[in-house]
Copies of this chain bind each other. A is one copy, B any other.
Amino acid sequence: MTRLMQKRSRKTGLPPGTAVHIGEKRTERTRLQLLHYDAAQVTERELEGVEEGVNLRPGTGVTWVHVTGVHDVALLDRLGRGFGLHPLVLEDISNTDQRPKFEDYGDYIYVVLKMLHDGTQGQEIKTEQVSIIFGKDYVLSFEEAEPTVFDPVRERIRAGRARTRERGADYLAYSLLDAVVDNYFALLEQVGERMEELHGALLASPSPRMQQSLHQLRREMVLLRKSVWPLREVLGGLERGQSGLIGKETYIYLRDVYDHTVHVIDTIETFRDMIGGLMDIYLMSLSNRMNEIMKVLTIIATIFMPLTFIAGVYGMNFRHMPELGWEWGYPLVLLLMATAAGGMLLFFRRKKWI
Contacts and interface: CB of A to CB of B under 8 A. Distances in A.
Interface string A245-259: 000000011011101
A298 interface: yes
A277 B222 contact: yes
Contact of A211 (B5, B98, B284): B284
Interface in A236-291: 252-253, 255-257, 259, 262-263, 266-267, 270-271, 273-274, 277, 279-284, 286-291
A46 interface: no
Interface stretch (A57-65, A69-77, A306-314): A306-314
Interface string A292-330: 011111101110111111011111111111011111111
The A contact surface, by secondary structure, is: helix
A25 interface: no
B277 A280 contact: no
In the complex, the count of this chain's copies comes to 5
Contacts of A318: 314, 323-324, 326, 329-330, 333
Interface of A: 1, 3-5, 7-9, 11-17, 86, 88, 97-99, 101, 103, 105, 152, 156, 161-164, 174-175, 178-179, 182-183, 185-186, 188-189, 192, 195-196, 199, 203, 205, 208, 211-212, 215, 218-219, 222-223, 225-226, 230, 252-253, 255-257, 259, 262-263, 266-267, 270-271, 273-274, 277, 279-284, 286-291, 293-298, 300-302, 304-309, 311-321, 323-330, 333-334, 337, 352-353
9 contacts: A9-B189, A15-B163, A215-B277, A226-B270, A286-B288, A294-B298, A315-B316, A317-B317, A319-B324
